[in-house]
Amino acid sequence: MKKRIFSGAQPTGELHIGNYLGALKNWVALQDDYEAFYCIVNLHAITLPQDPATLRQKTLDLARVYLAAGVDPSRSTIFIQSDVAAHAELTWVLSCIARMGELERMTQFKDKSSKGSSERAGVGLFTYPVLMAADILLYQADLVPVGQDQKQHLELSRDLAVRFNRDFGETFKVPDPYIPKAGASIKSLQDPTKKMSKSDENPKASIFLTDDADTIAKKIKSAVTDSGTDIKFDESRPAINNLLTIYQLVTGKSAEECEANFEGKMYGQFKGELAEATIEFMRPFQERIKQFDDETVKEILRTGADSARSIANATLRDVYQKTGIS
């Protein structure tokens, strides 16, 4: 029996190369060895205000991104979170064993709830990580491939699984995170101390998956660099470190090969080669994304929801049984 993986992304904003290199790329690689579930987490999306028509469109667009990136619906299950009601139901049960204190410590909540004032923050934003735990635990996932920013949420999922198992008997698999060594936190091109983010108001900070060749080249050219001239992996020079990490991941070269390639070269030449390699890397994805029409995508999502539902409902039934809710 293959082990299971579960992951998801929110259908908000446009995906960037950080999402691709930190998450999607690994989703595609892992589907060879694991039984994979890839979810479009639209219930998470509404923890911040969304325009309904845009959300509906982005949900479909994100499924198209998964497919174009290489997630194969004949091997992996792709589905929309709200199509499987068990996600919301298990969230309620888990929220009854989660503690205020552990949710208050989540750094994403602190960042997204207008800096420190929880008075006006949505309750959904606060309980966001509990919904994420429900996503994962419903499928008895062994492994969860995510970027570094999700590590803390994953630890909470593990804690809730252990607590439930202790209180009600063995029910959930305790999932392990899968955080890639390189690419787990791609930084903003304009401020390498911040992660590249969909919600960055400066469009030059991120390379979006839909950017054309010219835009990619311009963004890389205007990326900030550090003082010094060496093009080497060096944590103390975060800008070059970030650009070199992108180069390494889009070319598939080893760290040593990357450094050797740029020995004695100037930043200008490095950026030129990085732009070229990034454009080449994105090209097949950008060709493929045009191939999936709405009807095909909807059909894949319907089939995906059907198979997800049968697994999720079995776990939920067990949970209700054990907690006396039946």
What beta strand segments (E) does the chain contain? 3-9, 34-40, 77-80, 143-145, 176-178
7 binding ligand LTN? (CB under 6 A): yes
For residue 234, CA distances in Å to 148, 255, 268 come to 19, 11, 19
253: annotated active-site residue? no
Q: Are 304 and 78 in contact (CB under 8 A)?
A: yes
From the list ligand LTN, ligand ATP, none, pick the one residue 144 interacts with, judged by a Cβ distance below 5 to 8 Å according to partner type: ligand LTN
From the list ligand ATP, ligand LTN, none, pick the one residue 197 interacts with, judged by a Cβ distance below 5 to 8 Å according to partner type: ligand ATP
- Closest to ligand ATP by CB, 186 vs 274, is 186
Residue 45 structure tokens: 């999306």
209 binding ligand ATP? (CB under 6 A): no
113 binding ligand ATP? (CB under 6 A): no
Strand, coil or helix: 60: helix
6 binding ligand LTN? (CB under 6 A): yes
198: annotated active-site residue? yes
Which residues inside 214-243 make contact with ligand ATP, applying CB under 6 A?
Answer: none
Complete DSSP assignment for 138-169 = HTT-SEEE--GGGHHHHHHHHHHHHHHHHHH-
318 binding ligand ATP? (CB under 6 A): no
Which of these, 72, 65, 66, 15, lies nearest to 198 by C-alpha position? 15
9 binding ligand ATP? (CB under 6 A): yes
Interface mask toward ligand LTN for 158-177; x: CB under 6 A: --------------------
What amino acid is encoded at 76 in this protein? S
Tell me the pairing of strands 143-145 and 34-40.
unpaired
Which residues inside 18-57 make contact with ligand LTN, applying CB under 6 A?
Answer: 41, 44
Compute the C-alpha angle 215/218/222, nearest 5°: 140
Complete DSSP assignment for 86-107 = HHHHHHHHHHTTS-HHHHHT-H
Q: How far apart are CA 299 and CA 96, in angstroms?
A: 36
Interface mask toward ligand ATP for 141-160; x: CB under 6 A: -----xx-xx----------
198 binding ligand ATP? (CB under 6 A): yes
From the list ligand ATP, ligand LTN, none, pick the one residue 132 interacts with, judged by a Cβ distance below 5 to 8 Å according to partner type: ligand LTN
Q: Judged by CB under 6 A, which of 25, 64, 87, 195 binds ligand ATP? A: 195
Which of these, 82, 89, 108, 102, lies nearest to 160 by C-alpha position? 102
- Closest to ligand ATP by CB, 66 vs 172, is 66
221: annotated active-site residue? no
From the list ligand ATP, ligand LTN, none, pick the one residue 59 interacts with, judged by a Cβ distance below 5 to 8 Å according to partner type: none
Which of these, 211, 239, 212, lies nearest to 223 by C-alpha position? 239
Site residues, ligand LTN (CB under 6 A): 6-10, 41, 44, 132, 135-136, 144, 146, 150, 153
Site residues, ligand ATP (CB under 6 A): 9-10, 18-19, 22-23, 146-147, 149-150, 183-186, 195-199
